[in-house]
């Protein structure tokens, strides 16, 4: 197990503009505000959704893009450092017109129709992501 205690530093609430890429928009916000650790949540709507499922045997993401309007029911994730930059790791649940849901690890290519988010920034030693041989994932190392 690896864990660390933090204190709450700042709390933000904001929204992305229609047409923005969800991941790129959040990354830009984190970089602008120098946020290196914390948690993020959000709701809204997307006009395109790109999500992945990690195949634990093949050790790679199976990514799918859905070119249809969906509700963003819940996005939840964390913020740490990967390759020297603030990195949001986000998972999401989305619903279609018939209310059925799908979800997964959110990738670039998810286009916002409307997205309202909260970021809770922590103070303390930032987790840095590094490659983990056993899982094939970039996990918190130190």
Binding site for Zn ion (CB under 5 A): 105
Q: Using CA atoms, how far apart are residues 29 and 32, in angstroms rounded to an integer?
A: 5
Query: Which C-beta is closer to Zn ion: that of 8 or that of 63?
Result: 63
Closest CB to Zn ion among residues 96, 105 = 105
Query: Token digits for 57?
Result: 């045997």
Query: Residue 91 Cβ, how far from Zn ion at the closest point, in Å?
Result: 6
Tell me if 64 sits within 8 A of 92, measured CB to CB: no
Taking the complex as a whole, the smallest distance from the CB of residue 90 to Zn ion amounts, in Å, to 7
Q: Taking CB positions, which residue lies at the least distance from Zn ion?
A: 105
64 neighbors 50 (Cβ within 8 angstroms)? yes
User: What span, in angstroms and rounded, lies between the C-alpha atoms of 30 and 121?
Assistant: 10
Kindly tell me which of 15 and 105 has the beta carbon lying closer to Zn ion: 105
The least distance separating Zn ion from the CB of residue 105, rounded to whole angstroms, comes to: 3
Return the structure tokens found at 12. Answer: 């933000």
Alpha-carbon radius of gyration of the chain: 15
Residue 114 or 137 with smaller CB distance to Zn ion: 137
Shortest Å distance, C-beta 137 to Zn ion: 8
Are residues 130 and 141 in contact, defined by beta-carbon separation less than 8 angstroms? yes
């Amino acid at each position: 197990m690896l864990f660390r205690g933090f204190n709450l530093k700042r709390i933000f609430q904001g929204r992305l503009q229609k047409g923005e890429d969800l991941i790129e928009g959040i990354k830009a916000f984190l970089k602008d505000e120098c946020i290196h650790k914390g948690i993020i949540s959000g709701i809204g709507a997307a006009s395109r959704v790109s999500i992945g499922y990690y195949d634990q045997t093949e050790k790679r993401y199976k990514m799918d893009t859905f070119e249809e309007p969906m509700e963003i029911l819940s996005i939840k994730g964390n913020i740490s450092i990967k390759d020297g930059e603030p990195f949001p790791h986000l998972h999401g649940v989305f619903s279609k017109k018939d209310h059925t849901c799908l979800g997964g690890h959110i990738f670039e290519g998810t286009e916002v129709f409307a997205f309202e988010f909260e970021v809770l920034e922590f103070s303390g030693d930032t987790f840095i992501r590094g490659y983990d041989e056993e899982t094939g994932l970039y996990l918190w190392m130190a």
